Amino acid sequence: MPPAFKTSALSHHISRNPTLVQESQLMLPTSILFTPAFQRSPLVLRSHARAASQAFKSLAPASIPAHSARTCCSKAADSIAGRPLQSHKPSRSLHTTPIVSKDSEPPKMTTTLATILSRNDSWVSSYGPAHIEEFKANAQGQSPKVLWIGCSDSRVPEGVVCQTAPGELFVHRNIAGQFNPKDDSANSVLTYAVEALGVEQIVVVGHTSCGGVAASLQCAASKQDLPSAPLARYLTPLISLADKIRASPEAQGLSEAELVQLITERSVKQQMENIVESDVIKANWAGKKSAFPGEATKKVEVHGWVHNIATGKITDLGISILPPQ
């Protein structure tokens, strides 16, 4: 019987999702990416995203969206260096300090980017006055209860579809929402989220029409590599999973769309298992003291969701993995 999650933080997030769907507010701007707290200092891995996008487009032009990879956290450096987290200074605004010489013309902004910045101004004007104290608190530090691991797909913006406020979700998104055991980026996010921030729940979120899953299935079926070496290496575990599922008895007779959906759900489950097999979660569940705050943090739960892009609805798969009692 689904949902296994019981705590208020997760149920609060998922309960706001259908509310949002009903109110047809899915076209809200991507203002959540321009919040003044920790998300204003991300390292956007655009070169990786471009390579992935081109590779996907060459495989399935009609169904593969552009992807971007985003990771953060400027505070990790402070924490690793032993500096107090609460004394972290907000990073310099990228918008107000363009890097141009005095003699050169400032670079012209595209209409798309100008529109996004304009929407950010509107959001600050409308949202900010009523949340000024939250902004001030976020500038001093963060204490999210939930780590969201999902796909970089532009159609699954967690802050928008769950109506979360800045500071509520710690996020790691990559192609197809993978948590590969040897991925330093994903492991760094998990370590910081659990050991430094003390998140209490991790949610792995797959989605319908996932280009990463579709591309992996095509590679498995055609026995051909992706036209991008980094992407081929990165997706190797998912390609293997897709190959295994497509050959299984339960996959026989399924349409390609149904098979992609099945692989998506099994991938969510696989990432959850990878997470609980990590040293970070093993130590957390064993009650070991974290290297960051120097104390044991609350034992985390791991949950699996799927976001339906066609409806905006998020569904709990009911495959939660809870810490041993």
**Is residue 215 close enough to count as binding Zn ion by CB under 5 A?**
no
Helix (H) or strand (E) holding 305: strand 301-307
Residue 153 labeled ligand binder? yes
Q: Which stretch binds Zn ion (CB under 5 A): 11-19, 55-63, 205-213, 274-282?
A: 205-213
Considering the complex, what minimum distance in angstroms separates the CB of residue 175 from Zn ion?
7
Angle at 268 between CA 263 and CA 273, to 5 degrees: 120
Residue 60 contacts residue 211 (beta carbons within 8 Å): yes
Number of residues that bind Zn ion (CB under 5 A): 4
Tokens standing for residue 242: 């897709």
**Is residue 151 close enough to count as binding Zn ion by CB under 5 A?**
yes
Residues 6+ apart with CB under 8 A from 19: 163
Q: Give the strands of the sheet with 43-44, arranged side by side.
A: 43-44, 70-71, 169-174, 146-151, 201-207, 301-307, 314-316
Residue 155 contacts residue 309 (beta carbons within 8 Å): yes
**Is residue 153 close enough to count as binding Zn ion by CB under 5 A?**
yes
**Is residue 197 close enough to count as binding Zn ion by CB under 5 A?**
no
Instruction: Kindly tell me which of 197 and 231 has the beta carbon lying closer to Zn ion.
Output: 231
Q: Which stretch binds Zn ion (CB under 5 A): 9-17, 163-171, 207-215, 271-279?
A: 207-215
Q: Which stretch binds Zn ion (CB under 5 A): 9-17, 122-130, 209-217, 222-230?
A: 209-217
**Is residue 149 close enough to count as binding Zn ion by CB under 5 A?**
no
Instruction: Kindly tell me which of 37 and 151 has the beta carbon lying closer to Zn ion.
Output: 151
Residue 73 labeled ligand binder? no
Tokens standing for residue 138: 């976020």
Tokens standing for residue 221: 């079926």
Considering the complex, what minimum distance in angstroms separates the CB of residue 211 from Zn ion?
6
**Is residue 210 close enough to count as binding Zn ion by CB under 5 A?**
yes
Q: Which stretch binds Zn ion (CB under 5 A): 79-87, 107-115, 146-154, 217-225?
A: 146-154
**Is residue 14 close enough to count as binding Zn ion by CB under 5 A?**
no
Residues 6+ apart with CB under 8 A from 79: 85, 192, 196, 292
Tokens standing for residue 158: 């967690």
**Chain positions contacting Zn ion, by CB under 5 A:** 151, 153, 210, 212
List binding-site positions for Zn(2+). Answer: 151, 153, 207, 210
